Amino acid sequence: MNEIMKNRMLYLIFAIILILPFVLQDVNFQHITIMFLIFAGLGEGWNIITGFTGQTSFGHAAFFGIGAYTSTIMFYKFGISPWIGMILGALFAAGISAVVSYPCFRLKGHYFAIATLAVAEIIKQLFVSWDYVEGATGISIPVKPDSFWMMQFHKSKIPYFLIAYVLFIVATLVAVAVEKNKMGYYLKAIRESHEAAEALGINTTRYKLYAMMISSAVTAVFGTLYAQYILYIDPFMVFGLDISMKIVLLTVLGGLGSVYGPIIGAAILIPLSEYTRVFLGGTGKGIDLMIYGALIVIVACFEPRGVLGLFRRTKKRGAQYAKTTA
Amino acid sequence: MMFLQVVLTGVLVGSVYSLVAVGLTLVWGLMDIINFAHGDMMMISMYTVFWLYTLLKFDPFVSLPISAGITALLGIVIYKLVIKRVVNAPGLMALLATFGLSLFIRNFAQFLWTPNYRFVGESILSGKRILIADIVIGLPQLIAALGSILMTLLIALFIKRTKTGKAIQATAQSRDIAELMGVNTEKVYAVTFALSGICVGVAGTLLSGIFPVYPEAGAMYGLLAFVIVALGGFGNIWGAFYAGILIGLTEALGGFYLGTQFKYALAFLIYLLVLQFRPKGLFGW
Amino acid sequence: MRKLLVVFAVLLAFTVFAEEVIKIGAIFPLTGPAAATGVKIKYAVEVAQEIINGEHPEIELLLGKSAGLPNLNGAKIQFVFADHQANPELAMAEAERLIRNEGVVALIGCYHSSATKPASQVAEKYGIPFIAGSSSSAALTERGLQWFFRIAPHDGMETVFFFEYLKYLNQKYNANVKKVAVVYIDNEYGVHAAQMVKEKIKDYQADGFSIVADVKYPAGATNVDIEVQKIKGAKPDAIFHASYIGDMTMFVKKYKEFNVVPKVVLSYCGGYQDPQFVINLGKDADYFAGPNATTSALFKKMAILAKINEMYKAKSGVDIDGPTLEDFASAIVIAEAINLAGSTDPQKVLNVLKTGTFMAPYFVSGRIKFGPDGQNIYSASVMTQILDGIYEAVWPEQYQTKEPVPQFPDWNKR
Amino acid sequence: MPRPLLEVQNLTMKFGSLVANDDVSFVVNEGEIVSLIGPNGAGKTTLFNCISGFYKPFSGKVIFDGKDITGKSTHQITSMGLTRTFQIVKPLKDMTVKENVLTGAFLHANSKREAENLTDQVLRMTHLWDKKDMLAGSLTIADKKRLEVARMLATKPKMIMLDEAMAGLNKTEIKEAMELCVNLNKNGMTLLIVEHVMEAIMPISNRVVVLNAGRKIAEGSPQQIINNEEVIKAYLGERYYAKSRQINGGI
């Protein structure tokens, strides 16, 4: 019963998001909604390896970038549809993540986190120096007439929104599916105690690997969409620490280890950063980022369980109140 | 000859990394908190030196106690205002807080002092160098390196010999037990942040003669410090010191022989390789 | 009473002109690693706005005399600034927001070529003119965009300019410059410049030039010691630099420390052109050279430039430099184009931009005209060299404010 | 003839130059309760870790259910039916009691429903049913220990190893724990128990193995052990006599 209730909440969120850009036709608002969906989806993916499994990754930009570059190269060099690139990118990202994280899984805690950061920085440098993918120059994706198959839409942002929306729902449902099944319990057991998990018969390395592969595949899918949406990529933009940290921040802000966390976090952080920049960024004094930084600090200090913690607390308080009055 | 020069450069550069990393490893090892604002505290120290130089004509070496004092104070303020509230928070909340702090400090610096790149033009050392055969040693670099080593030594002695230092060690082992033994852990944390501030304060001062002063000046140092601290083993002062030198050497030798664009990538690679053999860092157990 | 009248008049003026404000988007890096330059450019664009909107008969520009655009009943221009933080994603988002929400009729920007690329694609999509002032990547004008224009010479043109200058030094001063080292930052700007050197050197091999070192360093480097040692080992006669102000300053300090004495150091549009270079390095900045759209030494020769600089300096505290002047020019040109078109209709403005020649008395070339690819065919640059702390124009000879010094003196003999 | 389920053969474990287990051999037969006792630092937990795959023994063999499990990883050993609890409890803190047990139940369940049924069964058996929705981190120490056992039972083991499952419990709690052990044993479970609380395990053990300084110094029925002089010297001391008499008398 409880599970159905919870999912109902999720469907309500999905429904609300769907109507947003149709109600508010402002193009900047639509853009923010798309970025929100992309980053909420990225957060869902990252949450699987870090929130559920407890293996902190500071290097998810690596998989984001692989997704962005796979589809872009295929489209740019061979005219292959980004949809195919998206699938291949996800497969590549899963494969590469398995290869690079397998040796890293021996590392615990922060040692692992720094290792993921190192892997992402190395991959970034490889792409910067790789002439075949145009290196540091980056790639401007050629503008083609509107086409679903080529994932290009110039008349309206709605198609991009719808694609982002569908991918976001897929990512969220993947996270839900992982969480509610055997795998989710296993991952959480690994997070809570490696040894206890082993003693319960869980092949921790294998499950961490699964989690990493699913997580990076989800991340790569959004990388492809991002590249197609911005129509330009370079290694600094898609492999940068900024992307990795943004994913970390919004999920932690929303609430780590919950399907709702990334949605709440992205719903706060993305509009906040966009609107502070829009209203204050033109001054050239850095006021927007000052406010943005200060707000993050304030949330962290006063709501250390994430914004989701706040919801849970008020809910509990409400329940207690109901009890006492009844 | 060239090889020697390159090695020497690596050691000189690395010793400054060490000092930045020592400050970070103190906090990290003790409180298990990743301080993203560490590099930005260093940037504040560089600005202190710069303004004392520009407005009052203080030589950077005269400003050293002042800038170190200011960053120490900044460390305490950061602890009291922010870290204290998140030190027991679950997950990565503390990281979120320090990241926000870093963003705030950087942009506050831009707000106050514009984003311009500035330099401390003249100091008693600037332009001076030592020539041994063909090998060049810049005096500012040498002093920076020696200063780093001295400072690391002092910090290590402080931790080992003084009562406060022992309290820090005890708290790092187990906060609860330390509290039972009558250690005021809050005070210990504040002192550690102050020490960490002094480290970056000194590092910033020593660097201000050779590195531009601008709001993002601490960014790359902060990032490298993460890797160095992990490479040396969290909380291990000498580990951070040697790891700093190792990263400096990797950067120099790798950069020289394989291509300078790879120098940071190689530093990251060294981390990954070393950790395959020592999963808790060079000196971690 | 008089005060009241004035207030009334001002209010009236506001209500009259309120609807006749033409908005133009200006996207620059106002925070982040390149904020120093972005903020300066913002000042320059604000100066352009003042000149266009106010009455500045002393500045002999088309739009200087009158307040506003005369062909549009004195309509005012308003530049709407946006920050891209050196992030292409934000440049794209801001371009779209400015066009759709702010209703801008044209865009200028973005300093970073990597930001200009997606932003100008947005302009292309909406059919709105985009003028890049200082973005120098040659790739920008190779994309076949209809609505994109660029004022600065691109790095390919700059490279040719470099070799021609070296040839001039060799012929006139017998400088015997042959071996070239390319030193560049590992990003869009640096890598593209280096590619151009490797491409253009083919045309100059006959003149004896060769590349002896190719030193690429990572962005945000903490030191450049190793880079300088590599350069020293290659013993180049000339160094081509593609560096920003922070790295460039570190390089100069290290050249001094390691006693690297090339004959010539030429810098692509970047750190060298920033007057902060001289402020930071003092005497050590002397003898470095590079193409620049302007220099303070030219102020004596060019009265208009001097007046523009006066206004700019009041805001920024420093003299106007090349990239900044190029973005200033982009602001002036778009306003003039709108004025000439007599309308904000993008198609009409586009026609003016494609066919017209714009007077640019603040450039040594004196005018701006865009070729079919959108590139300004008149290179606005002169070769400058810092002599006694002043950017002197040294080549071509007709603009010379001082003769070039073709050989770096030893560092201890300065 | 009882069938040996677990055989430890000449097991030696070293950490650097420190010998934690020195040539230890013993057998646990199917359906038995065997206790492993010894003073602090005798190497009991190390032996547990070697058997359960957390450590790879330096030399010697561990045979479980006829198969050599030496050097196999913990999760493999658990899937084969040999599982353990931890001296320092390791509850999955941020999960509820039910989720803790469910995690174990997935090992041999083919569907979530099957796992849930098994979980309910185990929760009732271990008297944790009322607390099933509490977070494991908020349980009392006694309940946490019970949860360790419950989680382990959910993996459907053939044999379980309890590492000081009664330390830190009060008398009633110890009694409950003892009853649980006996009940399990009656249902056919084989148990190997490391314990300090002599009073608790002596009455329920079939056999006792005594370790001292890494070596096995005695093995036999509880009565034999109580009367073994070496054991008394090394470990039990006079105090035990008085106490065990009291308890035995009490029961």
User: Within 10 A of D249 (CB to CB), how many other CB atoms are there?
Assistant: 7
Three-state secondary structure call for residue D9: strand
For C78, the enclosing helix (H) or strand (E) is strand C76-83
Task: Kindly determine whether residue B116 and residue C282, on different chains, have CB atoms separated by under 8 Å.
Answer: no
B202 to chain C nearest CA, in Å? 16
In this prediction, residues C259-267 reach a mean pLDDT of 92
Is D222 an 8 Å CB contact of chain A? no
Strand segments (E) across C243-305: 264-267, 289-292
Nearest to A241, CA basis, from B14, B103, B42, C271: B103
* Cα B13 from Cα B6, distance rounded (Å): 11
Task: Kindly determine whether residue C218 and residue A154, on different chains, have CB atoms separated by under 8 Å.
Answer: no
Burial, C335: exposed, middle or buried (Cβ in 10 Å; 0-12, 13-18, 19+)? buried
- Whether A264 and A308 have beta carbons less than 8 Å apart is answered as yes
In this prediction, residues A92-107 reach a mean pLDDT of 92
- Whether A71 and A82 have beta carbons less than 8 Å apart is answered as yes
pLDDT bin (cut points 50, 70, 90) of residue C15 is: very low
- Whether D193 and D185 have beta carbons less than 8 Å apart is answered as no
Task: Kindly determine whether residue B272 and residue A293, on different chains, have CB atoms separated by under 8 Å.
Answer: no
Nearest to A225, CA basis, from A271, A167, A170, A267: A167
Q: How big is chain D, counted in residues?
A: 251
* Cα D249 from Cα A145, distance rounded (Å): 94
| pLDDT of amino acid A34 | 94
| pLDDT of amino acid A178 | 92
Would you list the domain boundaries of chain D?
Answer: 1-81+158-251, 89-156
Is D49 an 8 Å CB contact of chain A? no
* Cα C234 from Cα C211, distance rounded (Å): 10
Which one-letter DSSP state was computed for residue C24? E
The pair of structure tokens assigned to D84 is: 């353990």
CA distances from C368 to C330, C332, C339, D33, D188 (A): 10, 11, 16, 97, 96
Tell which phi-psi region holds residue A221, choosing left (phi > 0), alpha (psi between -120 and 50) or beta: alpha
Chains that touch A (3 or more CB pairs under 8 A): B, C, D
Give the list of residues 6+ apart from residue B196 with CB closer than 8 angstroms, or none. Answer: B23, B24, B26, B27, B35, B38, B41, B75
| pLDDT of amino acid D176 | 83
Q: Pick the more confident residue, A258 or D237.
A: A258
* Cα A157 from Cα A153, distance rounded (Å): 7
The pair of structure tokens assigned to A102 is: 């397998």
Superfamily name with CATH number, domain C156-292+382-413: Response regulator (3.40.50.2300)
In this prediction, residues C187-199 reach a mean pLDDT of 90
Chain A residue with CA closest to C89: the answer is A230
Can you tell me which residue has the tokens 């934000």?
C90
pLDDT at C41 over 90: yes
Give the list of residues 6+ apart from residue A137 with CB closer than 8 angstroms, or none. Answer: A234, C137, C139, C188, C191, C192, C195
* Cα B175 from Cα B8, distance rounded (Å): 41
Which one-letter DSSP state was computed for residue D87? S
Is A193 an 8 Å CB contact of chain D? yes
Angle, vertex CA A241, rays to CA A240 and CA A247, nearest 5: 110
Is D70 an 8 Å CB contact of chain A? no
Please enumerate, as own/partner, the contacts of D138-144 that have beta carbons within 8 Å and a separation of 24 or more: D139/D91, D139/D97, D141/D89, D141/D168, D141/D169, D142/D169, D142/D170, D142/D173, D144/D89, D144/D91
The pair of structure tokens assigned to B27 is: 């906090």
Angle, vertex CA D35, rays to CA D33 and CA D37, nearest 5: 180
User: Within 10 A of D122 (CB to CB), how many other CB atoms are there?
Assistant: 24
The pair of structure tokens assigned to C302 is: 């060019």
Rg over CA atoms, chain D:
18
pLDDT bin (cut points 50, 70, 90) of residue D85 is: confident
The pair of structure tokens assigned to A30 is: 């639509």
D43 to chain A nearest CA, in Å? 19
In this prediction, residues D141-170 reach a mean pLDDT of 86
- Whether A251 and B65 have beta carbons less than 8 Å apart is answered as no
D18-29 and D4-15 as β-strands: parallel, antiparallel, unpaired? antiparallel
Which one-letter DSSP state was computed for residue C384? E
Give the list of residues 6+ apart from residue C408 with CB closer than 8 angstroms, or none. Answer: C261, C262, C263, C264, C265, C287
Three-state secondary structure call for residue D62: strand
Q: Which of C215, C259, C281 lies nearest to residue B136, judging by beta carbons?
A: C259
B138 vs C contacts (CB less than 8 Å)? 257
* Cα B25 from Cα B27, distance rounded (Å): 5
| Interface size between A and D, measured as CB pairs under 8 A | 78
* Cα C266 from Cα D249, distance rounded (Å): 101
* Cα A207 from Cα C353, distance rounded (Å): 61
pLDDT bin (cut points 50, 70, 90) of residue A3 is: low
Chain D residue with CA closest to A186: the answer is D103
Nearest to C116, CA basis, from C103, C98, C99, C134: C134
- Whether C30 and C43 have beta carbons less than 8 Å apart is answered as no
CA distances from D120 to A37, A147, C68, D123, D153 (A): 39, 54, 81, 5, 12
pLDDT at C126 over 60: yes
| pLDDT of amino acid B197 | 94
For D143, the enclosing helix (H) or strand (E) is helix D141-153
pLDDT at D242 over 70: no
C-proximal residues of B, 31-60, CB under 8 Å: none
Nearest to C288, CA basis, from C371, C183, C136: C183
| pLDDT of amino acid D248 | 47
Which one-letter DSSP state was computed for residue D130? G
CA D208 from chain centre, in angstroms, equals: 13
The pair of structure tokens assigned to B135 is: 């090998």
pLDDT digits (tens, 9 = 90+) for A156-183: 889 999 999 999 999 999 999 999 889 9
In this prediction, residues A69-89 reach a mean pLDDT of 95
In CATH terms, the fold of domain D1-81+158-251 is Rossmann fold (3.40.50)
Instruction: Flag the least confident range among A305-314, B190-199, D106-115.
Output: A305-314
pLDDT bin (cut points 50, 70, 90) of residue D250 is: very low
In CATH terms, the fold of domain C17-152+302-369 is Rossmann fold (3.40.50)
The pair of structure tokens assigned to B200 is: 């970056």
Task: Kindly determine whether residue D86 and residue A203, on different chains, have CB atoms separated by under 8 Å.
Answer: no
Amino acid at residue number A116 = T
* Cα A55 from Cα A57, distance rounded (Å): 6
In this prediction, residues A223-252 reach a mean pLDDT of 92
| pLDDT of amino acid C3 | 54
C289-292 and C382-387 as β-strands: parallel, antiparallel, unpaired? antiparallel
* Cα A216 from Cα A237, distance rounded (Å): 18
- Whether C147 and C130 have beta carbons less than 8 Å apart is answered as yes
* Cα B198 from Cα D36, distance rounded (Å): 54
Is A137 an 8 Å CB contact of chain C? yes
pLDDT bin (cut points 50, 70, 90) of residue D139 is: confident
- Evaluate whether the domain defined by A2-325 bears CATH number 1.10.3470: yes
Task: Kindly determine whether residue C217 and residue B219, on different chains, have CB atoms separated by under 8 Å.
Answer: no
The pair of structure tokens assigned to C95 is: 């371009």
Can you tell me which residue has the tokens 């030198």?
B245
* Cα C168 from Cα D114, distance rounded (Å): 87
In this prediction, residues C29-57 reach a mean pLDDT of 88
pLDDT truncated to tens, each residue of chain B (285 aa)? 788 888 998 999 899 899 999 999 988 888 888 889 999 999 999 999 999 998 988 888 888 999 999 999 999 999 999 998 888 887 688 888 999 999 999 999 988 988 888 888 676 677 778 888 778 888 888 888 898 899 999 999 998 888 888 888 888 888 888 888 888 888 889 999 999 999 999 999 988 878 888 888 888 898 899 999 999 988 888 999 999 999 999 999 999 998 888 889 999 999 999 998 888 888 865
CA C42 from chain centre, in angstroms, equals: 13
A138 vs C contacts (CB less than 8 Å)? 88, 114, 117, 188
* Cα B216 from Cα A236, distance rounded (Å): 16
pLDDT at D245 over 70: no
Q: Pick the more confident residue, A230 or A283.
A: A230
Is B155 an 8 Å CB contact of chain A? no
For the four alpha carbons of C257, C258, C263 and C266, in that order, the dihedral sign comes to negative
Would you list the domain boundaries of chain A?
Answer: 2-325
| pLDDT of amino acid A325 | 46
Which residue ranges form the domains of chain B, and what is each CATH number? 2-277 (1.10.3470)
Instruction: Flag the least confident range among A188-192, B129-133, C190-194.
Output: B129-133
- Whether A168 and A13 have beta carbons less than 8 Å apart is answered as no
- Whether A233 and A32 have beta carbons less than 8 Å apart is answered as no
